[in-house]
């Protein structure tokens, strides 16, 4: 934790910034090639009411 200095603020603490995190865009870069067209083509979806 990183303590904010000065008076009452000494009691407030903010978590330190985490280390590097993988971007979901990089992890799932090929999601549309793996899934079928029905999965990602929401423009063509016709809801059944």
Is 41 within 8 Å of 31 (Cβ atoms)? no
| DSSP assignment letter at 24 | H
End-to-end CA distance of the chain: 51
Helix (H, G, I), strand (E, B) or coil at 30: coil
Total-model pTM: 0.34
Which pLDDT score, from 0 to 100, does residue 3 have?
52
Examine the pLDDT at 1 and tell me if it is beyond 60.
Answer: no
- Distance, in Å, from the CA atom of 3 to the CA atom of 16, rounded to the nearest integer, reads 9
Which pLDDT score, from 0 to 100, does residue 35 have?
84
pLDDT by residue (tens digit) across 18-48? 777 767 777 777 877 888 888 888 888 888 9
| Residue spans per domain, the chain | 19-49
């Amino acid at each position: 934790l990183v303590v904010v200095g000065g008076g009452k603020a000494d009691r407030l603490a903010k978590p330190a910034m985490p280390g590097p995190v993988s971007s979901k865009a990089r992890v799932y870069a090929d999601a549309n090639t793996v899934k079928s067209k029905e999965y990602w083509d929401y423009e063509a979806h016709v809801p059944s009411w």
